[in-house]
Amino acid sequence: MNQITITQPDDWHLHFRDGELLNETVPATARCFRRAIVMPNLVPPVKNRSDAMAYKQRILEAAPTGSNFEPLMVLYLTNETTSDDIHEACSQDIPAAKLYPAGATTNSDAAVSGIESLYPVFEAMSDAGMLLLIHGEVTNPETDIFDREKLFIDQHLGPIHQRFPDLKIVFEHITTADAADFVLSGSDNLAATITPQHLLLNRNDLLVGGIRPHNYCLPVLKRNTHQQRLRDVVASGSNKFFLGTDSAPHAKHTKETACGCAGCYSAWGALELYTQVFDDLDALDKLEGFASFYGADFYGMARNTHKITLKRETWTMPEEIALTNGDSIVPFFAGQTLNWQIA
């Protein structure tokens, strides 16, 4: 197959950042995605309806003229979040709240330290029909970084899913066979997003032959058996797994340094790379469900109606993207060949 037409996809996990950078990130996503779940890990974070609506406005101002792009906003849960914050926020344009364990990733210092203390908030979310999005890694320093996702399932996610059976949970950017199997064993109220980098790469791509800071993201890339399991579940066509790029820009100088930031900026080629993965897996017929249907279905939103076509045509990801402030970003897959292009 040299061409594929699918319903326009959505990105169910994305970092836009704020300010000037929106002029780069919003058009990059709006070029192919109709909606995106916008992560709230700004500094300071997006904590309530008023923060979210102001941020949404700034995003819309950066969208290309005439685009029908729709940002879907997310609240950032902290130890101060109340049930009132949830009731006030919950709506079509703020469908979810995000749980970051404190210290788990970029800009998560404001996050939750005792997850169980949020149970009243989860109760309110469950009643209101607001989704809980979870960065699923334990953060205690003695836990090996490669085991953090598995331990989070055992210690937190399992108990939350059991205690709140009606709460819809998205286990974000899963990286392990353990996570895939847990999601498959859970109820219909449990689903997961998977990034392009976790489908395309494993930890050798981070560490063999030299450290590759532009492949460093959190949760960190795992061994190839985990990568293979993620590839298997998307190729199976299960509706519990859907597209979430986790595209997360960081300036080049903050990644190419002694203590580099976590995050891959994939917005320039994410859909094309997912297409490449499904093609490699001989599962192009499963791409549309993953990219365009299952996320919307899980969120209880209408599927998109517009179509988009990808062609088998090679192109090269730029080495760098210049920003107006003089910085630059090295995009995910920089300098490498992609096999699919949006027509």
Q: Which stretch binds Zn ion (CB under 5 A): 47-55, 215-223, 242-250, 297-305?
A: 242-250
Q: Does 288 bind Zn ion (CB under 5 A)?
A: no
Partner whose binding site includes residue 135, from ligand NCD, Zn ion, none (CB under 5 to 8 Å by kind): ligand NCD
Nearer to ligand NCD among residue 274 and residue 340 (C-beta):
274
User: For residues 62 and 288, what is the distance between their CA atoms, to the nearest angstrom?
Assistant: 28
CA distances from 111 to 139, 326, 341 (A): 11, 31, 38
Q: Catalytic site residue 246?
A: yes
Pick from 10, 70, 137, 246 the residue near Zn ion by CB under 5 A: 246
As a whole number of Å, the CA-based R_g of the chain is 19
The β-bridge partners of 315 are: 338
- In the chain, what is the straight-line distance between the N-terminal and C-terminal CA atoms, in Å? 15
Q: Does 262 bind ligand NCD (CB under 6 A)?
A: yes
What phi and psi values does residue 70 have, to the nearest 5 degrees? -125, 110
Nearer to ligand NCD among residue 244 and residue 289 (C-beta):
244
Partner whose binding site includes residue 263, from Zn ion, ligand NCD, none (CB under 5 to 8 Å by kind): ligand NCD
Among candidate residues 10, 11, 51, 246, the one labeled active-site is: 246
Strand 337-342 with 307-316, pairing: antiparallel
Report the site for ligand NCD in 159-218 (rule: CB under 6 A): 217-218
What strands, in cross-sheet order, belong to the sheet with 70-76?
11-14, 35-38, 70-76, 96-99, 131-134, 169-171, 190-194, 241-243
Output b/e per residue, 86-120; b: 16+ Cβ within 10 A. beebbeeebbbbbbbbeebbbbbebbbeebeebee
Q: Does 338 bind ligand NCD (CB under 6 A)?
A: no
Q: How far is CA 150 from the centre of its chain?
A: 18
Nearer to ligand NCD among residue 200 and residue 308 (C-beta):
200
Q: Does 270 bind ligand NCD (CB under 6 A)?
A: no
Helix or strand (DSSP H, E) at 72: strand 70-76
What strands, in cross-sheet order, belong to the sheet with 3-7?
3-7, 307-316, 337-342
Report the site for ligand NCD in 79-108 (rule: CB under 6 A): 105-107
Binding mask 30-59 for ligand NCD (x = CB under 6 A): -----------x------------------
Q: Under DSSP, is residue 328 helix (H, G, I), strand (E, B) or coil?
A: strand
**Nearest distance, CB of residue 83 and Zn ion, angstroms:** 25
Report the site for ligand NCD in 290-309 (rule: CB under 6 A): none
The β-bridge partners of 3 are: 311
Pick from 8, 10, 11, 15 the residue near ligand NCD by CB under 6 A: 15
Q: Under DSSP, is residue 208 helix (H, G, I), strand (E, B) or coil?
A: coil
Q: Total binding residues for ligand NCD by CB under 6 A? A: 12
Report the site for ligand NCD in 227-246 (rule: CB under 6 A): 246
Nearer to ligand NCD among residue 106 and residue 238 (C-beta):
106
What phi and psi values does residue 241 have, to the nearest 5 degrees? -125, 130
Nearer to Zn ion among residue 171 and residue 340 (C-beta):
171
Whether the Cβ atoms of residue 173 and residue 198 lie closer than 8 Å to each other: yes
Q: Does 25 bind ligand NCD (CB under 6 A)?
A: no
Binding site for Zn ion (CB under 5 A): 246
Binding site for ligand NCD (CB under 6 A): 15, 41, 105-107, 135, 217-218, 246, 248, 262-263
